[in-house]
Chains A and B, each alone.
Chain A
Amino acid sequence: GAGVSQTPSNKVTEKGKYVELRCDPISGHTALYWYRQSLGQGPEFLIYFQGTGAADDSGLPNDRFFAVRPEGSVSTLKIQRTERGDSAVYLCASSLEGRYNEQFFGPGTRLTVL
């Protein structure tokens, strides 16, 4: 597809379970970003990848959160021992290298932790 895609679109899980959220960036975009949007708030930065490496993971809330991008394209956000407070929409964005002001967002994954 032409845009950023994210799967699944919705994920319902139970407290304590492990989840993986996937992001397929726009082809050719080397920069990839994850944001989290909680209810009633704007998106908040989680992590930024340039290529395969996480250049900045300062926005990850704690060590239960981890993200990878092994081949510099698809990225997976992993959440261990989910908590109810993790419920949010997780947004992925991508851009060309250095074009930080031109981030294209995917539709997001709505995560609900029961």
Chain B
Amino acid sequence: DQQVKQNSPSLSVQEGRISILNCDYTNSMFDYFLWYKKYPAEGPTFLISISSIKDKNEDGRFTVFLNKSAKHLSLHIVPSQPGDSAVYFCAATGSNDYKLSFGAGTTVTVRA
């Protein structure tokens, strides 16, 4: 059972524009959400996270929004840069839980 879903397998965006990646979850016990970025032949690297007590967290060009009632979160990248081209994974976990549940990933391609 896929508890975290990323329904868009790919996204193409022009350099300088906004990239919006979406993620939905089904487990109401999840209260901490993370975004990881992955380049080919490398492991996922942590990008940004958000706790369920917040609805927004911002770090430079990256902002994550959480809508708990809809069990939905999104990652905004503004402005998009060529180096942002990668696979982005949404992940979720519960309080004091060591297991991360991942979505299938969204491949972002930033066009020059």
Contacts and interface: CB of A to CB of B under 8 A. Distances in A.
B44 A40 contact: no
A20 interface: no
B63 interface: no
Given A101-B32, A105-B43, A107-B43, A42 B98 contact: no
Given A4-B43, A91-B44, A107-B41, A100 B102 contact: no
Given A42-B104, A42-B105, 10 more contacts: A41-B104, A42-B89, A42-B103, A43-B102, A100-B93, A100-B98, A102-B46, A103-B100, A105-B43, A108-B43
Interface of B: 4, 6, 9, 32, 34, 36, 41-46, 49, 89, 91, 93, 96-105
Interface of A: 4, 9, 31, 33, 35, 40-45, 48, 55-56, 59, 91, 93, 100-108
